[in-house]
Amino acid sequence: YYFPCQRWLAVEEDDGQIVRELVPVDEAFVKKDSENDGQSLATLGLEQKAKSTTYTVKVKTGDKKNAGTDANVFVTLYGSKDDTGIVSLKASKINKNKFERGKVDEFTVESVDIGDLKKIKIGHDNKGNSTGWFLEWVEIDAPSLGQCLKFPCGRWLDKSEDDGAIERIIFPAELQTTEYIPFVPYEITVYTSDIFGAGTDADVFVVLYGSDGICTQQKSLCLNKREQRMYFERNSVNQFIVELEDVGDIIEKIRIGHKGGGLNSGWHLDRVAIRRLLPNGK
């Protein structure tokens, strides 16, 4: 079995996860890559992404005295088919100091398909100076499933409060579940020209347009400023796997640009290639 990864396991890189689930690929892909037969492992990114689900997990700490925690928080998502295993919530996309009183933190969790989300277990390791935590709610958005679920809690996870538990199993509130058309993964390859000053450090975004006026949201290709500095260099090829609204089998046009700002924002774009898997697996 061969399990390509080609991604960071680092709090300050990519989506901030330090544990990843990998799905196996055919041996032929790996051998072709090692023989430089034009088949790069990078092209497997889309196929692997199609087998996994990305969740955006928002966590609200209550607005009470001593509600925040310095302990290490973890979550497990349970679905109709499988569970994610224990996932450490280490890299909040919003706050440097996470799980502070009255604040909402946002995390990315990626897993193989676990089916419809049924419940979650969330808790902490009780380590640190201020460990007690009042959890207001958890919201989990799964674009590939087209669902956003709210898990109300409103209780302490504290050995000296409530029932003394530091982990809880909570279920979604059915009336607060939002459903929408599921997103699909697109592979977007961006080619920057080979001329002087062609590269940019700006925040590059893309919008895809299908037939009948359907379009995606505006999506930034880089997750952070460090990636903006790394990518879109002169004569470079950068590939991104992004989940966006399904615009159908035909992409009629795209809108691509950047938000300016910074020292080197001007960009000379050569071309863009976009690939998606059709429903029959092509």
Same domain, 135 and 226: no
Same domain, 231 and 202: yes
Residue ranges for the chain with pLDDT beneath 50:
36-39, 282
- Residue in 140, 8, 157 with CA at minimum distance from that of residue 73: 157
Same domain, 102 and 138: yes
Measured CA to CA, the distance from residue 234 to residue 127 in angstroms comes to: 47
Same domain, 236 and 171: no
* CATH number of 65's domain: 2.60.60.20
Q: Is 54 helix (H, G, I), strand (E, B) or coil?
A: strand
| Residue 282 resides in a domain | no
- Residue in 133, 137, 114, 116 with CA at minimum distance from that of residue 124: 133
| pLDDT tens figures, 225-236 | 888 888 999 999
Residues recorded for the chain: 282
Count CA atoms closer than 13 A to 63's CA, side-chain side.
3
| Residue 129 resides in a domain | yes
- Domain termination residue (choose one: 179, 200, 227): 179
- Domain termination residue (choose one: 119, 144, 179): 179
Measured CA to CA, the distance from residue 282 to residue 278 in angstroms comes to: 5
| Residue 201 resides in a domain | yes
Domain count of the fold of the chain: 2
**Whole-number pLDDT of residue 24:** 79
- Domain termination residue (choose one: 157, 179, 201): 179
| Residue 47 resides in a domain | no
| Residue 111 resides in a domain | yes
**Whole-number pLDDT of residue 282:** 47
Measured CA to CA, the distance from residue 259 to residue 64 in angstroms comes to: 39
Same domain, 57 and 166: yes
Same domain, 76 and 114: yes
Q: How far is CA 251 from CA 157, 173, 276, in A?
A: 48, 37, 10
List the domain range (segments joined by +) for residue 153: 53-179
Beta strands in 80-116 (DSSP E): 87-88, 104-112
Same domain, 258 and 243: yes
Same domain, 192 and 123: no
| Residue 172 resides in a domain | yes
Same domain, 97 and 12: no
Q: Is 146 helix (H, G, I), strand (E, B) or coil?
A: coil
| Residue 71 resides in a domain | yes
Same domain, 188 and 82: no
Same domain, 225 and 269: yes
**Whole-number pLDDT of residue 279:** 66
| pLDDT tens figures, 29-52 | 665 555 544 445 555 677 778 788
| Residue 85 resides in a domain | yes
Same domain, 8 and 29: yes
**Whole-number pLDDT of residue 27:** 67
